[in-house]
Structure 1
Amino acid sequence: MAKGPNRGQPLTAAGLRTIFRYRRGLIGIVGGHPDALRHAFGTALAEAGVDLAVMQAVLGHAHVDTTARHIHLAPAHVKAEFDAARDRLRSQR
C-alpha cells in the first residue's frame, strides 16, 4: 500500500521496486525484483500453451522478440512439446 503523499496515486515502476525491496526485507530475501515476476508469468503462459502474440499483448511488449526473452522453458517441457509435435506429424502420414 502506498503511504504518505503518494497514497491513491497510480503505482509507478519506482514505487513497485520500493514495495518489493520493503517486502523482501521483512522476510529476509536478498534477491528478487519485479521483472522476475514478469518472467515467471511469461513462462507460465508459454507452458500453458498461450500463443506468443497473445502473450505479447498481455505482457505489453511492442516487439515479439521482447516477449520471447521473458520465456524460460524447462528442458523437460521443451522435450515434451517436441515429442508431441513429432507424434502429430507421424500420425498424419
Structure 2
Amino acid sequence: MNAKSKFLISSLLFAASLPVMAANMPININTANAEQLSELSGIGPSKANAIIAYRKAHGPFKDISEITKVKGIGPKLLEHDKAQLALK
C-alpha cells in the first residue's frame, strides 16, 4: 500500500470517528445553539428554544441544576442529561 492510500484510509477513519467524539463532548448550556441543545436526549426544538429564551431573559446559568427552571425540563431530564451538560 502506498503512502497516498494509507493517508486516504486514515483520513476516512478519522472522519468516521468525528460524530462519536462529538457525541461524548459536553454541551455548554450557556453558549449552545438550538441545534446543539437538541442533540441532548429529551430535548427537542421547542425545549432547546425555551432554554435559549430563558438564558436571554435571565442571563447565563450559574449552576447546571438551574436548567430545571426552564418550562418542560424537570429533575428527571436533568439527571438523565447531567453528564452531557457543561457551563464552560
TM more than 0.5: no
> Per chain length, whose mean CA-contact separation is higher, i.e. which structure has more relative contact order (CA < 8 Å, sep 6+)?
2
Report the structure, 1 or 2, having the larger strand content. Answer: 2
Based on CA coordinates, which of the two structures has the bigger radius of gyration?
1
State the TM-score, normalized to the length of structure 2. Answer: 0.24
TM-score for both structures, normalised by structure 1? 0.23
